[in-house]
Amino acid sequence: EIVLTQSPGTLSLSPGERVTLSCRASKSVASSYLAWYQHKPGQAPRPLIYGASIRGTDVPDRFSGSGSGTDFTLTISRLEPDDFAFYYCLQYGGSPPFTFGQGTKLEIK
């Protein structure tokens, strides 16, 4: 089973700043089947990125994903107030079919 480790656990930043979140896999993620979700308390998780770097529907271009193999990143180029939330990486297509990272909390400084 692939274990995903996200870092940091919590990040305190201000609107307008650039942020990079990390997701490291214990084994290579096949075909870059790595996704990122944004989750706000009380709401449904929102898919941001799939295939490591493909933005989902209606996702602003300030969100970008990169990486391959075991190291993946999600970058938000200029934080907006609406971006403060939890972020999870997800590997899919392996066995078991889905594994989430433990999440990164992005909070307003």
Partner 1 sequence: QIQLVQSGVEVRKPGASVKVSCKASGYHFTNYAVNWVRLAPGQGLEWMGWISASNGKTSSAQKFQGRLTMTTDTSTNTAYMELRSLRPDDTAVYYCSRLVVVVPAIPDYWGQGTQVTVSS
Site residues (vs partner 1, CB under 8 A):
31, 33, 35, 37, 39, 42-47, 50, 56, 88, 90, 92-93, 96-103
CB of 61 to partner 1, least distance (A): 19
Give the E-state strand segments of the chain in sequence order: 4-7, 10-13, 19-25, 34-39, 46-50, 54-55, 63-68, 71-76, 86-92, 98-100, 104-108
Distance CA 92, CA 89 (A): 10
Residue that is written with structure tokens 């870092």 in the block:
7
CB of 39 to partner 1, least distance (A): 7
Q: Which is nearer to partner 1, 16 or 42 (CB)?
A: 42
CB of 67 to partner 1, least distance (A): 16
Written as six digits, the tokens of 49 are 């990125």
Asked if 72 and 52 count as a contact pair (C-beta separation under 8 A), the reply is: yes
CB of 76 to partner 1, least distance (A): 19
